[in-house]
Structure formats: structure tokens, C-alpha cells
Homo-oligomer: A and B are copies of this chain.
């Protein structure tokens, strides 16, 4: 008696685009794919890059992606579970880049304060830096934000690997980056060059000379930075 017909999101149309929208259109889903594409694999890592998502919801989204064959949950021994894109999921790369590029080209305005967080930004810096140019020893870089809130974030460097950190790791930093959130975000997004930010003093580097010299080299920009730059040139 009960009509248990599974109501599809878009009834009456089997179209590949509708299928894609159905699988990726839920809130957060596309950003989860983005984070998996850029190197986040553990539950807490993904959650950290998505301020505002609840554990329940993230778990549910991951399960749905797994059911669709886009994500694979790996559990090796009693190690922590990891989430990896399947071949199908990896094949989303061009489409995801296309969407982001489109937005960067046309909606690359400066973010408002509530659209940025130092915690997420430091995570992105970790994800996109050029690891092969990182100092080889153990180092700590501290980022002191002067605005919109005075707060600090850290990047722990150890044998060519970097880890973003929201809490003081205790060790004395060998590099100090003093700036405001807007500036560092603009540099990351490709809206302002590191060189220009250093020149006008909106970004300042202090600490061991070797670290100061290396930072602009290993600091990486967003994958959409070039799109943003092109859009700015055209707009100006």
C-alpha cells in the first residue's frame, strides 16, 4: 500500500548532467571531492578544511560518495581509516578545475572577512606549498595575523613535510610571517604577488635569513591563481 517508490531528485530525466548534479549537488559534496583531490584523506583532516560541517553530515556525505563509487574508504590494520578518490572520482579533476576556473575568472572579488579564516588558509598553504623546495630540517614558521583578528597559526616543517597547526607547538619559530588575513589570502589567490606584498610592507618576514629567503620560493599559490590574475588584468 505504501508507495515506496524511491523518489529521484530529478524525476523524468535521465541526463548525464542531471546524474552528475544528483551525485555532486548536495551541499559540501563538491568541496569534499576538492579536498580529497588536494591531499586530505583522514576524517579530521577533511573536517578541518570545512568549517561548519558536522561530523554526522561529513560521515553521511562520505558514505554516499562511497556508495556511488567515487570515494573508497581504506582501513589498513588498526590504522586510522582513510578516504581516497577512486579512479571514477579522480576523473572529476577536469570538471572540478573547470568549475573553479569559471568562478575565478568571473567572481574573483576580494573575500569579505567572514569568507576567510586563518585556520583554513594555513591548511591550504600546507596543501599547496612546493614540498621539494622546503627546508630539509625541523623548522617552525609562525604566521602572526594583525587583522581582522590578532591571532597566530603555525606551520611545522619536518624533513620536507609541512603540517598546519592552530595551536602553539611549543618550539621557537625560525620564521615569522607578519601580515593580515586579507593580504595573505590575496597572495595565495593570485590577486597580489608576494613580491608586491613584501614591498609595500603588508607582509613582513623575520627570522633566520635562510628561512626568510626560502619562504617566497616554497610558498605555493591556489590552482586558480592564474585565472584570477588573468581576470584582474582584464578588469583593470
Contact = CB atoms under 8 A, between A and B. Distances in A.
Interface of A: 5, 8-21, 23-28, 30-31, 34, 49-52, 68-69, 88, 91-92, 94-96, 98-108, 111, 114-117, 119-120, 124, 185, 189, 222, 224, 227-228
Which 10 pairs between the two chains have the least Cβ-Cβ distance? A14-B111, A12-B117, A95-B98, A16-B103, A16-B104, A20-B103, A17-B100, A12-B51, A14-B115, A16-B100
Given A11-B52, A13-B120, A103 B185 contact: no
Contacts of A8: 114-115
B120 A12 contact: yes
Contact of A106 (B27, B28, B91, B114): B91
B94 A98 contact: yes
A119 to B, nearest CB: 7
Contacts of A14: 111, 115-116, 185, 189
A175 B12 CA distance: 25
Given A9-B27, A91-B105, A20 B114 contact: no
Q: Which residue, of A15, A95, A100, A111, has the highest number of chain B Cβ atoms within 10 A?
A: A15
A108 B16 contact: yes
How many copies the complex holds: the figure is 2
Given A30-B25, A31-B21, A108-B16, A11 B103 contact: no
Contacts of A15: 31, 34, 100, 124, 222, 224
Among A17, A34, A114, A224, residue most surrounded by chain B Cβ atoms (within 10 Å): A17
Given A17-B103, A34-B17, A114-B11, A27 B27 contact: no
Contacts of A92: 102
A81 to B, nearest CB: 24
Contacts of A25: 25-27, 30
Contact of A20 (B102, B115, B222): B102
A104 B14 CA distance: 10
Contact of A117 (B13, B27, B111): B13
Nearest to A185: B14
A181 to B, nearest CB: 10
Most chain B Cβ neighbours within 10 Å, of A21, A108, A222: A21
A227 to B, nearest CB: 7
